[in-house]
A and B are shown apart, each in its own frame.
Chain A
Amino acid sequence: MVATQEYKVIGTRPIRHDGLDKVTGRAIYGADVKLPGMLYGAVLRSPHAHARIKSIDTSAAEAMAGVIAVMTAKDMPEAGDELVDLGEGAINFSHASDHIMAMNKAKFKGHPVAAVAAISTNVAREAVAAIKVDWEVLKSVVTVDEAMAPDAPAIVDGWVGDDLGEKSPLPNVGSHFRHEFGDIEKGFADSTTIIEHRYDLAMVHQGYIEPHNGTAIWDQDDRVRVWTSTQGSFTVRTQLAGVLQLDESRIKVIPTEIGGGFGGKIPIYVEPLAAILSKKSGGKPVRILMDRADVFEASGPTPGGWVSLKLGVNDDGKIIAGDADIRFDAGGFPGSPVGAAAMCMFSCYDIPNTRIDGWDIIVNKPKTAAYRAPGSTHVAYAIESIVDEICEKLNLDPVQFRLDNASKEGTRRGDGPIFPRIGNIETVEAARDSAHWNSPLDKNPGNGKVRGRGIASGYWFNVGLKSSVNLSVNTDGTVMLIEGSTDIGGSRTSIAMQAAEVLGISAEDVIPTVVDTDSVGYTDVTGGSRTTYATGFAAYKAAQSLIEELTTRASTIWDIPEDEVGFEDGKFSSKTDPELSMTFKELAGKLNETGGPVSSTGAVDLENAGGGFAVHICDLEIDPETGKTDVIRYTAVQDVGKAIHPSYVEGQMQGGSVQGIGWALNEEYFMNDDGQMANSSYLDYRMPTTLDLPEIETVLVEVPNPLHPFGVRGVGEPPIVPPVAAVANAIHDALGIRLRQAPMNPGRILEALKENNG
């Protein structure tokens, strides 16, 4: 199904407004910030995964020439124990404060324990090395199973987790919840085929290129200015206010360009340290940059853990029962995306009887953050693998099986909500009809290698939330668009295009600028695939009011009643006198003589967003002698609602697919026996490079979202959901083995082949 509405700007592919600065290296990123008199910060991080701080001696560092300020957790204000929603995940400020700088003990390797501001990075690093910490090293636990053992060491002192409304007796349970609908026992009793397996996944990182950074000035009036690369300048402000115990109005966050985030640049890490060091330095600016190892060890990856799933199917080939147990490692503090995983667990299927148990487990690893459709990839690995196995066992076509069992408008999602109009069926149909699915695959190409094809579905719910946009008209007929959404994927352009569509001008004539938190109304994070949807909606509303204001102005100029002025195709005209007509540009040129400037504001707070579905098809080639696996063809099919800028939508689908392929094949936090990540560099983290990937083909399905004026759905997250399962199913097709542990790297393939061959 394709959107049929005719548009002039929407659906075209203009050059992005920020493109030239980015390709010529002029764009200012966090590490480019350099202020007069700036000091350079360095952070002392725990070398242990779990250790109590008996004492810290900073005297040698303080005495060092060139050192201006030294801080420890004692310099952090005492933060309240309240829970605050950040749009994509909530935050407990006392945990956040303890996370940013460890008060009594380090809960993961890389946990900050002290920081220094000095006249150069080199001096700051030497000073950090001179700080002496007396550690009591504790036993560390890095997997959910270890951490759930009754005799496991308690990681967060005094924490008591909620277990189905009761206090958990286990020390490291962040929470345990359950969603149950229908009659699960009867569902399995009525099933004629039941398959149950456990799927394990390693912790993985978003892998953005730009490390975290922060530059801050805390001046003598207790006003704090922070420059940082973030997905949400207002959420940085909220977090800083909580952690620094200041009113939000005293904090101004100036977002720089952002070199990738994927959910990982929502939390704050070094920003408050820079602010406190600035205060201790008498208001000098302080900049702190993470390096790559810091990013791996001490930012917010997505959890490892496991999903145990049991599906029951009746003789009609209908899934009638599903029972899932999802356990995620949250990292050193509670708060993994297990709730989101539960929302996605059964979402591609219409299953009458379901139960989902979710466990959030504290472990001695970095505190997890959002990563592109957080939790959904994990559950898709389980359910899409079992669906493939059911189809194999019952000799059913995997596409037809998905259509026969598809969720649709009116289906109840596994966590309760009823689906509105969704594009699941249309997406599966588009995959069925795609060139890729209908092409033959030579499974034995004759070079000693074997090939296989896999298919998998995925879902992400998307969010709406709050956005603000200001528009003002220039006398040359262009329009300034001021927004608070930091741009991580071309959103400046996709938002400007929505304003341009309403205003009847070109995308290039709307000039978007992302501004600081003092300069525009509150705007939630660029995350949850909400920005083109919600900030685009705000731009739409602002543009509508601009047209209203300009209509009034035209009526004044022509001296006719307002209701006689019409606006169509970028032209204001009198409904009665055909002589009276002005383009947007012509009217803009007359504003200064007819009452002065015209500007408008649009603000939204959207409760719902309308979810997105994806179906991916993967062909791969394996050397059975080495386990080496190459993806040789890959197609991503997705319901995108309405593609405002199709190139950026395709880019999101390709990027998400690639991250998912990396997750499937080689990426992992490889933990050694001391609870430390052994591969905290890009050399050994093994993300795919361009040489490891084919062109990712895309098929855009457009089932307009009824909640948005142009039918937009979030598109950034669904594409990372199916790849792990699609790769697993393709490996099965090639080799006849089912791998239930990611990454499905060459070593694991060799092991499974050996097991299979006895």
Chain B
Amino acid sequence: MHPFDFVAATSVADVNSVLAQHGNRARPLVGGTDLLVQLRGGRFELDAVVDIKSVPEANVLELNGSLKMGSAVPLAEFYENQGVRNAYPGLIDCAELVGGIQIQSRASMAGNLCNATPSGDTICPMIVHSAQVHITSAKGDRTVAVEDFCTGPGRTVLEDGEWVLDITFPAPASGFGAAYERFIPRNEMDIAVVGVASSVTLDGSGKIADARVALAAVGPTPVFIRDITALLVGKEPTEENFVAAGKIAHDAVSPITDMRGTIEQRRHLSGVLTRRTLTKAAERAKAG
């Protein structure tokens, strides 16, 4: 393994200065559950690794109507927060799925997002929660919607010197519900063959005011399917409509055949899980 400098940053400025100095030869580190494995596997070389776990701004978890989650907040801290559990059950679905206890105690959702694998379990749930990514660098700050963040397998909109400081989730509207399900052949410790996140917002009359569906592991990036939103808005949350949404997902995705599943299987599962997660999201929406 190529030797690198390890920098334990304690401020945003520390991180910015290391990243500005090394450009794409430096990366921030949170849990290291992807980064260290990739470095050891020789996927790429770095000259510096910046640990951001001691940066205060990267460790906030503020629930104040909306939710602001620092990029270093481990999944376990996220899902053990009772306020977060009550407000965002659709995010808890995915936070509890990633890896095992050890991984969950180190890894963060922002790390999962920046790793940008199409199968990342937390990315699609963030998309259907309309989450916004706060990017910072020595040059300034900007905000990007999660659905626009990943640009390819392992690739993101982050420019050299930029990193994710926090992610904000809007306050759940009344009548909002969300759910995430993934298909794996085993029961744990596996990568999604297909993952589907859905959210549904019901209006006062029980009709669908908004719906968002995003799918994992069926394209080069997590796939946000706007056609499903168009189909469902104004409709009743019925099995029939959710089956129709599943059909759109089935046709819209562009999966590959690999060791984890085939194109056929992934299309089929896209349909099944879209229907199932929409149904669950609507149930949660009704339960308020």
Partner pick for A665 among B185, B193, B268, CB 8 A cutoff: B185
Q: Determine if A666 and B259 form an interchain contact, defined as CB atoms under 8 angstroms apart.
A: no
* Interface status of A630 (Cβ within 8 A of chain B): yes
The interface bits of chain B over 181-192 (1 if a CB of A lies within 8 angstroms of the residue's CB, else 0) are 001011111110
Distance (whole angstroms) from the CB of B26 to the closest CB of chain A? 20
Report A-chain residues with C-beta under 8 Å of the C-beta of B272.
Answer: 625-626
With the chains together, A630 CA to B184 CA distance in Å? 12
With the chains together, A751 CA to B268 CA distance in Å? 10
The interface bits of chain A over 626-643 (1 if a CB of B lies within 8 angstroms of the residue's CB, else 0) are 111110000000000000
A670 and B259 in contact, given A684-B191, A686-B190 (Cβ under 8 angstroms): yes
With the chains together, A330 CA to B258 CA distance in Å? 25
Chain B: CB-nearest residue to A122:
B1
Report the contact-size class of chain A (Cβ under 8 Å from the partner): 20 to 34
Report B-chain residues with C-beta under 8 Å of the C-beta of A77.
Answer: none
Report A-chain residues with C-beta under 8 Å of the C-beta of B1.
Answer: 122, 125
* Interface status of B260 (Cβ within 8 A of chain A): yes
Q: Determine if A747 and B262 form an interchain contact, defined as CB atoms under 8 angstroms apart.
A: yes
With the chains together, A665 CA to B187 CA distance in Å? 13
With the chains together, A626 CA to B185 CA distance in Å? 9
* Interface status of A570 (Cβ within 8 A of chain B): no
Chain A: CB-nearest residue to B266:
A747
Q: Determine if A626 and B269 form an interchain contact, defined as CB atoms under 8 angstroms apart.
A: yes
Chain B: CB-nearest residue to A685:
B259
Q: Determine if A628 and B188 form an interchain contact, defined as CB atoms under 8 angstroms apart.
A: no
Report B-chain residues with C-beta under 8 Å of the C-beta of A122.
Answer: 1, 3
Report B-chain residues with C-beta under 8 Å of the C-beta of A57.
Answer: none
Q: Determine if B189 and A689 form an interchain contact, defined as CB atoms under 8 angstroms apart.
A: yes
A688 and B186 in contact, given A122-B1, A750-B268 (Cβ under 8 angstroms): yes
With the chains together, A625 CA to B268 CA distance in Å? 9
* Interface status of A72 (Cβ within 8 A of chain B): no
Chain A: CB-nearest residue to B271:
A625
Report B-chain residues with C-beta under 8 Å of the C-beta of A692.
Answer: 186-188
Q: Determine if B264 and A686 form an interchain contact, defined as CB atoms under 8 angstroms apart.
A: no
Report the contact-size class of chain B (Cβ under 8 Å from the partner): 20 to 34
A747 and B190 in contact, given A122-B3, A628-B185, A684-B259 (Cβ under 8 angstroms): no
* Interface status of A486 (Cβ within 8 A of chain B): no
With the chains together, A54 CA to B258 CA distance in Å? 32
Report A-chain residues with C-beta under 8 Å of the C-beta of B188.
Answer: 689, 691-692
With the chains together, A628 CA to B192 CA distance in Å? 13
A678 and B187 in contact, given A626-B272, A747-B265 (Cβ under 8 angstroms): no
Report A-chain residues with C-beta under 8 Å of the C-beta of B219.
Answer: none
* Interface status of B172 (Cβ within 8 A of chain A): no
* Interface status of A90 (Cβ within 8 A of chain B): no
The interface bits of chain B over 128-155 (1 if a CB of A lies within 8 angstroms of the residue's CB, else 0) are 0000000000000000000000000000
Q: Determine if A628 and B190 form an interchain contact, defined as CB atoms under 8 angstroms apart.
A: no
Chain B: CB-nearest residue to A625:
B272
Report A-chain residues with C-beta under 8 Å of the C-beta of B260.
Answer: 684
Q: Determine if A686 and B186 form an interchain contact, defined as CB atoms under 8 angstroms apart.
A: yes
Distance (whole angstroms) from the CB of B54 to the closest CB of chain A? 27
Report A-chain residues with C-beta under 8 Å of the C-beta of B259.
Answer: 670, 678-679, 684
Q: Determine if A628 and B183 form an interchain contact, defined as CB atoms under 8 angstroms apart.
A: yes
Q: Which chain A residues numbered 658 to 700 have a C-beta less than 8 Å away from chain B?
A: 665-666, 670, 678-679, 683-684, 686, 688-689, 691-692
Q: Determine if A683 and B191 form an interchain contact, defined as CB atoms under 8 angstroms apart.
A: yes
Q: Which chain B residues numbered 219 to 267 have a C-beta less than 8 Å away from chain A?
A: 258-262, 264-265
Chain A: CB-nearest residue to B257:
A747
Report A-chain residues with C-beta under 8 Å of the C-beta of B261.
Answer: 747
Chain B: CB-nearest residue to A630:
B187
Chain B: CB-nearest residue to A662:
B186
Q: Which chain B residues numbered 151 to 199 have a C-beta less than 8 Å away from chain A?
A: 183, 185-191, 193
* Interface status of A745 (Cβ within 8 A of chain B): yes
With the chains together, A679 CA to B264 CA distance in Å? 20
Q: Determine if A626 and B183 form an interchain contact, defined as CB atoms under 8 angstroms apart.
A: yes
A666 and B185 in contact, given A678-B259, A751-B264 (Cβ under 8 angstroms): yes
Q: Determine if B185 and A678 form an interchain contact, defined as CB atoms under 8 angstroms apart.
A: no
With the chains together, A665 CA to B185 CA distance in Å? 9
Partner pick for B258 among A625, A665, A678, A750, CB 8 A cutoff: A678
With the chains together, A628 CA to B186 CA distance in Å? 8
Report A-chain residues with C-beta under 8 Å of the C-beta of B187.
Answer: 630, 689, 691-692
Chain B: CB-nearest residue to A670:
B259
* Interface status of A420 (Cβ within 8 A of chain B): no
* Interface status of A746 (Cβ within 8 A of chain B): yes
Q: Determine if B186 and A745 form an interchain contact, defined as CB atoms under 8 angstroms apart.
A: no
Chain A: CB-nearest residue to B258:
A678
Chain A: CB-nearest residue to B269:
A626
Q: Which chain A residues numbered 702 to 758 have a C-beta less than 8 Å away from chain B?
A: 745-747, 750-751
Report A-chain residues with C-beta under 8 Å of the C-beta of B191.
Answer: 683-684
The winner among B185, B262, B268, B269 for most chain A CB atoms within 10 A is B185
Distance (whole angstroms) from the CB of A636 to the closest CB of chain B? 21
The interface bits of chain B over 257-288 (1 if a CB of A lies within 8 angstroms of the residue's CB, else 0) are 01111101100110010000000000000000
Chain A: CB-nearest residue to B183:
A626
Q: Which chain A residues numbered 94 to 136 have a C-beta less than 8 Å away from chain B?
A: 122, 125-126
A691 and B269 in contact, given A125-B1, A678-B259, A751-B264 (Cβ under 8 angstroms): no
Q: Determine if B269 and A683 form an interchain contact, defined as CB atoms under 8 angstroms apart.
A: no
Chain B: CB-nearest residue to A747:
B265
Report A-chain residues with C-beta under 8 Å of the C-beta of B258.
Answer: 670, 678
Q: Determine if A683 and B190 form an interchain contact, defined as CB atoms under 8 angstroms apart.
A: yes
Distance (whole angstroms) from the CB of B182 to the closest CB of chain A? 11
Q: Determine if A750 and B265 form an interchain contact, defined as CB atoms under 8 angstroms apart.
A: yes
Distance (whole angstroms) from the CB of B244 to the closest CB of chain A? 17
Distance (whole angstroms) from the CB of A119 to the closest CB of chain B? 14
Q: Which chain A residues numbered 604 to 661 have a C-beta less than 8 Å away from chain B?
A: 625-630
Distance (whole angstroms) from the CB of A732 to the closest CB of chain B? 19
With the chains together, A666 CA to B187 CA distance in Å? 12
Q: Which chain A residues numbered 116 to 170 have a C-beta less than 8 Å away from chain B?
A: 122, 125-126
Distance (whole angstroms) from the CB of A65 to the closest CB of chain B? 13
Q: Determine if A689 and B186 form an interchain contact, defined as CB atoms under 8 angstroms apart.
A: yes
The interface bits of chain A over 451-468 (1 if a CB of B lies within 8 angstroms of the residue's CB, else 0) are 000000000000000000
Distance (whole angstroms) from the CB of A109 to the closest CB of chain B? 15
Q: Which chain A residues numbered 560 to 617 have a C-beta less than 8 Å away from chain B?
A: none
Chain B: CB-nearest residue to A684:
B259
Chain B: CB-nearest residue to A668:
B259
Distance (whole angstroms) from the CB of B109 to the closest CB of chain A? 20
Report A-chain residues with C-beta under 8 Å of the C-beta of B190.
Answer: 683, 686
With the chains together, A757 CA to B265 CA distance in Å? 16
Chain A: CB-nearest residue to B190:
A686
Q: Determine if B265 and A746 form an interchain contact, defined as CB atoms under 8 angstroms apart.
A: yes
With the chains together, A403 CA to B265 CA distance in Å? 41
Distance (whole angstroms) from the CB of A120 to the closest CB of chain B? 11
Report B-chain residues with C-beta under 8 Å of the C-beta of A745.
Answer: 185
With the chains together, A629 CA to B187 CA distance in Å? 10
A666 and B3 in contact, given A746-B265, A750-B265 (Cβ under 8 angstroms): no
Distance (whole angstroms) from the CB of A596 to the closest CB of chain B? 56
Distance (whole angstroms) from the CB of B65 to the closest CB of chain A? 37
Report B-chain residues with C-beta under 8 Å of the C-beta of A691.
Answer: 186-189
Q: Which chain A residues numbered 155 to 214 have a C-beta less than 8 Å away from chain B?
A: none
The interface bits of chain A over 513-549 (1 if a CB of B lies within 8 angstroms of the residue's CB, else 0) are 0000000000000000000000000000000000000
With the chains together, A416 CA to B116 CA distance in Å? 60
Chain B: CB-nearest residue to A745:
B185
Distance (whole angstroms) from the CB of A252 to the closest CB of chain B? 34
11 further interface pairs, Cβ-Cβ under 8 Å (given A691-B189, A692-B187):
A629-B185, A670-B258, A678-B258, A683-B190, A684-B259, A689-B188, A691-B186, A745-B185, A746-B265, A751-B264, A751-B265
Which 10 pairs, one residue from A and one from B, show the smallest C-beta to C-beta distance?
A670-B259, A691-B187, A679-B259, A747-B265, A678-B259, A691-B188, A692-B186, A666-B185, A625-B272, A746-B185
**25 A–B pairs (Cβ distance < 8 Å), ordered by A:** A125-B1, A126-B2, A627-B265, A628-B185, A665-B185, A666-B185, A666-B186, A670-B258, A679-B259, A683-B189, A683-B191, A684-B191, A686-B186, A686-B190, A689-B187, A691-B188, A691-B189, A692-B188, A746-B183, A746-B193, A746-B265, A747-B261, A750-B265, A751-B264, A751-B265
